[in-house]
């Protein structure tokens, strides 16, 4: 398993950069590809009522999203390779022997990274919606008013650097095993693709339960894309609730989509 066989000696920058970029590319293609196949080919008719925006994105839109995403994985490789170069200098808290912190921390660190990433995403996302920063950092992502799964990594290079920043942030501040971070990356691409595919898969009752106040939904993010207003969160909804930044019609929209 990758988690156990991570090399003690870090290979050259070029090799680590290429490895990380290809790894991220393969996961992007696999997860977005599965979502596309299910939601846009095989079950397109059957799931139609749950499509949050009823019309489908055009082929040109999806190609544009995939092109920017391909550039993003290169930037992820560069930032990832640079972070591993910092490890060589002894600056990071990346460790390669699971026994150093035990399996409890190996799994616990993934949970911590998920909550750290959720906060990081919410606040950086709000920041790049500032009118002075929006065009340069976030305009590319918002060209998609009706995104497809291929929009998962559709970022301008500037935003890709911000998104990639979670790796150095974690590596410099907490002990993290590369295998644990790799599993976190699978978690994030799963949610990211699910949020952009455009189908609401949660049950209607969710919004009337505490879980609906806590978890985020695809409706939340699709509404962010089509209205540009509110809904800055990623995995969870509590930052948007605490800060009063949910779209005023978020819950109404969710109920409308899940009642069709
Ligand atoms: Zn945004
Ligand atoms: Zn988005």
Cα-to-centroid distance, 144 and ligand 1 (Å): 10
Cα-flanking dihedrals φ and ψ of residue 129, to 5°?
Answer: -85, -5
Cα separation, 120 vs 169, in Å, equals 9
Inside any domain, residue 23: yes
Inside any domain, residue 249: no
Q: Which ligand is nearest to the CA of 227?
A: 1
Cα-to-centroid distance, 153 and ligand 1 (Å): 13
Cα separation, 9 vs 168, in Å, equals 19
pLDDT of residue 8: 64
Cα-to-centroid distance, 83 and ligand 2 (Å): 26
Cα separation, 70 vs 68, in Å, equals 5
pLDDT tier for residue 12 given thresholds of 50, 70 and 90: confident
Inside any domain, residue 258: no
Q: What is the pLDDT of residues 24-33, one digit of tens each?
A: 999 999 999 9
Q: How many domains does the chain have?
A: 1
Inside any domain, residue 17: yes
pLDDT of residue 1: 40
Q: Which ligand is nearest to the CA of 134?
A: 1
Does the pLDDT of residue 55 top 60, yes or no? Answer: yes
**Which residues have a Cβ under 8 Å from the Cβ of 235 and sit 6 or more positions away?**
114, 117, 118, 191, 215, 216
Range of the domain at 87: 2-201
Inside any domain, residue 223: no
Inside any domain, residue 143: yes
Inside any domain, residue 226: no
Inside any domain, residue 168: yes
């Amino acid at each position: 398993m990758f988690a156990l066989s991570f090399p003690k000696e870090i290979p050259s920058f070029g090799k680590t950069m290429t490895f990380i970029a290809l790894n991220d590319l393969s996961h992007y293609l696999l997860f977005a590809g599965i979502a596309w196949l299910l939601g846009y080919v095989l079950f397109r008719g059957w799931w139609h009522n749950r499509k949050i925006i009823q019309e489908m994105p055009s082929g040109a839109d999806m190609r544009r999203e995939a092109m920017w995403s391909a550039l993003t994985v290169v930037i992820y490789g560069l930032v990832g390779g640079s972070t591993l170069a910092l490890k060589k200098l002894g600056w990071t808290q990346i460790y390669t022997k699971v026994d150093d912190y035990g399996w409890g921390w190996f799994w616990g660190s993934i949970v911590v990274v998920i909550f750290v990433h959720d906060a990081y995403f919410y606040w950086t996302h709000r920041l790049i919606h500032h009118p002075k920063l929006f065009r340069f950092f976030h305009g590319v992502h918002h060209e998609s008013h009706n995104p497809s799964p291929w929009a998962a990594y559709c970022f301008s290079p500037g935003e890709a650097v911000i998104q990639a920043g979670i790796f150095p942030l974690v590596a410099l501040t907490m002990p993290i095993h590369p295998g644990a971070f790799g599993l976190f990356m699978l978690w994030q691409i799963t949610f990211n693709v699910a949020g952009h595919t455009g189908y609401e898969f949660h049950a209607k009752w969710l919004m009337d339960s505490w879980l609906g106040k806590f978890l985020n939904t695809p409706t939340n993010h699709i509404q962010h894309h089509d209205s540009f207003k509110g809904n800055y969160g990623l995995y969870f909804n509590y930052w948007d609730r605490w800060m009063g930044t949910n779209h005023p019609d978020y819950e109404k929209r969710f109920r409308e989509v899940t009642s069709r």
